[in-house]
Amino acid sequence: MRRQQTIHPGANSSTVRRKTKTLIPERNRFHLPAPDRAKSSMRAESQRLSAIIATQQKIAAAAPDPAGIMKLVVDRAQTLTRAEGAVIELVEGDEMVYRAVSGIASAQLGLRLGIATSFSGLCVRTEEILRCDDAGVDPRVAGELGHLVGARSVIVVPLRHQYNSMGVLKVLSLRLNAFNESDIQTLQFVAHFMAVAVNQAVAFGAKQALLAEHTRTILPLRESEERFRSAFNYAAIGMALVGIDGKWMKVNQTLCDIVGYSQEELLARSFHDCVHPDDLKNSHEHFQQLLAGDVRTYQRELRHRHKSGAIVWILLNASLLRDGQGKPIHFIAQIQDITERRRAEEALIMQAQVLQNMSEGVCLTDENGLMVYTNAAEEAMFGYEPAELIGKHVAILNQYPPDENSRIVQEVIDQVQTTGAWTGEFTNRKKYGSDFTTSARISLLEISGRKYFVCVQEDITEKNGRTNKLRILSEKRMSSSRRFTIE
């Protein structure tokens, strides 16, 4: 009767026990002469080293993509060790995760095993190379036996990243005692090549991410600088950067037009060279307040000297730019030419003075008859305090009954709108009830699309009284003359 063979998984290479009880290595079952065996061994070793070098070259030439590198490594590891499958597992938290697979393990991509209960986890924890010749009896693989897809032999090699275990390279075989010491050495080489390539890929990815982040940061900054440059150069108001020493650093064309100098001429001067002497002290004090941090910005009207010698009134808005440490860099000045506005304001002041000093009363009303302005003579004529009439209806100045007053007002408005003016006399009433007569001229004034009525009038009560007396005396004389002639 034929004796059953007994397999011993604990040996480093598979062995078969024969009837003679002599242990014969399975791989060396067919004996060759010693010289031939040496040549064959050398040839096999040379082929193995050539394959390892070729693998290194392929890994080194691979794109800096960790996933692609890992897929290349499992394929080459399976081929080099004559295995039926290969896996790269990476440490993620307290689990080992299948991140690259080949051969019989192809369907297990993404599989998760506990570090504390798996053969691969033991490799990570001990940072040692582990070899199993028979998974069926090896207690170290009992925790993942159901995930070995029929594999009987396993080698697990640590993968290191910056001196820390980041995972394992594992090869699987359906045969007992499938792997030897040469396979372990081969996997060590491949694992080292992969670790170097992955480290480089990770570093490359980090640099790419940093470059992308830098690009995302720098592009908006460049766009912001370009917007500032455009806004600076083409602003409708004067723009300038002024050094801490007061020198013009950068000026736009609008500022040059305001003061009459070219950019080159201005850059050869200082800001204070252009300020009127009477405003120079005050201007210097404001700049010092900005430097001291007493104010963040200031606005002031001051006089600049035009290249022609003329005085130009400007509205200056100034602020100070500081660096990250708070050190002053330069001033930012916004300058508007307000010369025409100042002239208009001065003209208005003069006109207001004239109006206030006129002997005639002046009243300005809107289209609804509400008074918006009265001069001093008007207020005195009617017995009111300054500004007391503002907002009141003009009808309170007349002594006519309401119906007649409305009719008169409407007639005046119609004539003014038709002919542009109305001239006549009004019987008015003072604040405390006495009546008097005025000679008035009413005209139409339009300001910013709104219509106003301007009434200029003077009190002619005394004048009319003298006229009446003269008329009565004249009539009496004429009457006496007629009686004398008749007699």
Least confident of 133-137, 154-158, 462-466: 462-466
Tokens 């064309």, located at residue:
253
Token pair belonging to 411: 């007639």
Q: Rounded to whole angstroms, how far apart are CA atoms 238 and 258?
A: 7
For range 126-138, the mean pLDDT: 91
Among the residues of 234-358, which ranges form H helices? Answer: 253-259, 263-267, 277-292, 339-357
- Which neighbouring-strand residues pair with 248? 242
Beta carbons within 10 angstroms of residue 160's beta carbon: 14
Specify the pLDDT at position 413: 85
Structural contact between residues 152 and 178, judged by C-beta atoms closer than 8 angstroms = yes
Cβ atoms of 3 and 16 within 8 Å: the answer is no
CA dist., res. 450 & res. 93, Å (int):
77
The reply to whether 234-343 shares the fold of 44-201 is: yes
Beta bridge partners of 439: 425, 458
Superfamily of domain 44-201: GAF domain (3.30.450.40)
Nearest 10 degrees: CA dihedral of 405, 406, 408, 411?
Answer: 170
- 358-466: CATH topology: Beta-Lactamase (3.30.450)
Average pLDDT over residues 264-274: 91
Give the pLDDT confidence of 309-357 residue by residue, as tens digits.
999 999 999 999 998 888 999 999 999 999 998 888 888 888 888 878 8
The confidence score (pLDDT) of residue 159 equals 87
Q: Please return the burial class of 221, using the count of CB atoms within 10 Å of its CB with bins 0-12, 13-18 and 19+.
A: exposed
Consecutive H or E run containing 223: helix 181-233
Task: Please tell me the predicted confidence (pLDDT) of residue 348.
Answer: 82
Q: Where are the domains of the chain?
A: 44-201, 234-343, 358-466
List beta partners, residue 92: 95
CATH architecture of the domain with residue range 234-343? 2-Layer Sandwich (3.30)
Over residues 449-469, the pLDDT tens digits come to 888 999 999 998 887 766 665
The pLDDT tens digits of the residues spanning 199-220 come to 666 666 666 677 777 767 777 7
Residue of 199, 344, 342 lying closest to 276 (CA atoms): 342
Task: For the chain, give the mean pLDDT.
Answer: 81
For the four alpha carbons of 56, 58, 59 and 64, in that order, the dihedral sign comes to positive
Residue 256: the pLDDT is: 93
Alpha-carbon gap, residue 73 to 169, rounded angstroms: 9
Q: Angle at Cα 433 formed by Cα 428 and Cα 437, nearest 5°?
A: 25
Q: What pLDDT sits at residue 407?
A: 85
